[in-house]
Amino acid sequence: MSNDLCDRAWIEIDLDAVRENFETVRRAVDRRAAIIAMVKADAYGLGATRIARALEPLDPWGYGVATAAEGVELRDAGITRPILVVAPLPPPCVGDAARHALTASISDLEGLDRWAAAAEQVPGGLDFHVEIDTGMGRCGFDWRESARWGDAVRARCGPALRWTGVFTHFHGADARDDAATRTQWDRFQDALAQLPVSKEDLMVHAANSAAVFRHPSYAADAVRPGIFLYGGDPAPALRPGTIPRPRPVVAVRARLVLVRDVPPGSTVGYGAVYVSRSWERWGTLAIGYGDGFRREFGPTGAVLVRGRRAPIIGRISMDLTVVDLTGAPEVRVGDAATLIGRDGAAEITLEEVAGRGGTINYEVLTGLGPRLPRVERAAATES
């Protein structure tokens, strides 16, 4: 692909694949549920405005963010659909969230009081959803006490302060054993039954990506997919084939900036932990941990060059990574190597890279740094 942004190292984003993954979610819930596209953390590093604009024609109910600033970014980009902030708002952020007509999620009465005060100041009033903690433990009202707080929440509502939704969040929808998710769902139902308002008047939602596919019956009024939209497997621990694979969205590529043949006994990288045992061909890639390609992704890892695997050797540096190209005489300086994604028939998945780093695909994606330009890939450039 020839593009000024693709001079050193970059991320290719396939927006058609994002849209296809969105439609896969919609089919899984049988079109019964609305879709809240989770675009928090800059759409998992891919660009929240870019992703929201790509999804607008598919008519999501709205978007989910984690901070007021993320919601403001979408409003500034012209997004007028509901934007739900799924984390409690720090008190200094409440005014900004209110002025941009975001929808707060409320976890306690103090937070509701702050939102109510802000609602008095904005002409159209404000909406909020209540979060119920059924075991995630980080936010939400206690599921066991919904009769108590339910009355207090309702008492604060009025024309300017509208209670429009209620949700919970699963902690283990990706786990092989789904008992915990079933328990959380039952707690959620118990709590809903005790509320002083009818479920019919609230938008009820619970499912993240993993739950969409494993528990489509928990779709309720809306679902909140994130990782699946961006090509991540929501439940890598499950037997392959248990849930649909998303279409890959992301490719991370970097140029070869140097190719050399080195004699036996040559060392590479900080600590010189790798030593050549024979004549080898080494290639230097213009990417490193300063781009979010973490040192842990190196030791057992590889990249794709001209459709073949080339092992990463030595420690990954801040700006450079060295690979072993022995046996690839056709490789040239300027070739693009693939660190994540497809090259011909070969593929390095997000999950493979996450496994090398002892982490999860979410963290690989959100860790990709701002130094990597994000490039929207046209469908035709599959090479």
Question: Exactly one of 82, 88, 111, 225 binds ligand PLP (CB under 6 A); which one?
Answer: 225
Question: Exactly one of 204, 227, 250, 364 binds ligand PLP (CB under 6 A); which one?
Answer: 227
**What gap in Å lies between CA 34 and CA 62, rounded to an integer?**
9
DSSP at 165: E
Question: Exactly one of 226, 246, 292, 314 binds ligand PLP (CB under 6 A); which one?
Answer: 226
**What gap in Å lies between CA 255 and CA 246, rounded to an integer?**
27
7 contacts: CB under 8 Å, gap ≥ 6: 255
Q: Which amino acid is at 162?
A: R
Asked if residue 209 binds ligand PLP (CB under 6 A), the reply is yes
Nearer to ligand PLP, 134 or 209 (CB): 209
Q: Which of residues 154-193 bind ligand PLP (CB under 6 A)?
A: 169
**What gap in Å lies between CA 96 and CA 68, rounded to an integer?**
7
Q: Which of residues 69-108 bind ligand PLP (CB under 6 A)?
A: 86
Nearer to ligand PLP, 165 or 283 (CB): 165
Task: Give the interface size with ligand PLP as a residue count (CB under 6 A).
Answer: 13
Sign of CA dihedral 128, 168, 364, 235: negative
Nearer to ligand PLP, 39 or 285 (CB): 39
Asked if residue 281 binds ligand PLP (CB under 6 A), the reply is no
Q: How far is CA 324 from CA 38, 272, 331, in A?
A: 39, 15, 11
The nearest distance, CB 38 to ligand PLP, in angstroms, is 4
What's the farthest any 2 CA atoms get from each other in the chain?
Answer: 78
Contact call for residues 289 and 295 (beta carbons, < 8 A): yes
Could you tell me which stretch among 72-80, 115-123, 225-233, 284-292 binds ligand PLP (CB under 6 A)? 225-233
Asked if residue 50 binds ligand PLP (CB under 6 A), the reply is no
Nearer to ligand PLP, 112 or 227 (CB): 227
Contact call for residues 56 and 79 (beta carbons, < 8 A): yes
Separate counts of helices (H) and strands (E) for the chain? 11, 20
Asked if residue 234 binds ligand PLP (CB under 6 A), the reply is yes
Q: State the residue number with the nearest CB to ligand PLP.
A: 226
**What gap in Å lies between CA 295 and CA 270, rounded to an integer?**
11
Active site residues: 40, 270
Which stretches of the chain bind ligand PLP, using CB under 6 A? 38, 40, 86, 169, 208-210, 224-228, 234
